[in-house]
Amino acid sequence: MGMYRQFLLKLAQMRNQWFNALEEGDRLNSDMKVLIVDDEEKIVEVIKSYIEKEGFEAATAYDGKQALEMYISFKPDLVILDLMLPDMSGEDVCKKIRSMKDTPVIMLTAKAEEEYILNGLNIGADDYITKPFSPKQLIARAKAVMRRTQNSLAKEAVLSYNNRELIINIDSHSVQKDGQVVNITPVEFEILLKLAKNPKKVFTREELITYVLGDDYEGYDRTIDTHIKNLRQKIETNTKDPKYVLTVYGVGYKFGGE
pLDDT tens, position by position, for the chain (258 residues)?
Answer: 455 555 455 445 544 444 443 333 344 555 789 999 999 999 999 999 999 988 889 999 999 999 999 999 998 989 999 988 999 988 899 888 888 877 889 988 877 667 767 776 777 778 888 888 888 888 888 888 887 766 655 554 788 888 888 988 887 888 999 888 889 888 888 889 888 888 878 888 888 877 776 655 555 557 788 889 999 999 999 988 999 999 988 888 998 887
Distance, CA of 119 to CA of 98 (rounded, Å)? 14
What pLDDT does 47 receive?
A: 92
The SS3 call for residue 256 is: coil
Bridge-based pairing state of the strands 158-161 and 166-169: antiparallel
**Whether CATH 3.30.300.30 fits 2-151:** no
Residue 75's CB is within 10 A of a number of other CB atoms, namely: 12
Give every strand in the sheet of 158-161, ordered side by side.
Answer: 158-161, 166-169, 174-177, 180-182
DSSP state of 84: -
Q: Is the distance from CB of 133 to CB of 38 less than 8 angstroms? A: no
Does the global pTM surpass 0.75? no
Every domain of the chain and the residues it spans: 2-151, 156-255
Specify the amino acid at residue 43: I
State the first-to-last Cα distance of the chain, in angstroms, to the nearest integer. 58
For residues 102 and 186, the answer to whether their CB atoms sit within 8 Å is: yes
Q: In what order do the strands lie in the sheet with 252-255?
A: 203-204, 252-255, 245-248
Q: What is the pLDDT of residue 60?
A: 95
Query: What fold, for 156-255?
Result: Arc Repressor Mutant, subunit A (1.10.10)
Note the pLDDT of residue 170.
81
Chain centroid, CA 258 distance in Å: 28
pLDDT the model gives residue 156: 46
Sheet with 105-109, side-by-side order of all strands? 57-61, 33-37, 78-82, 105-109, 127-130
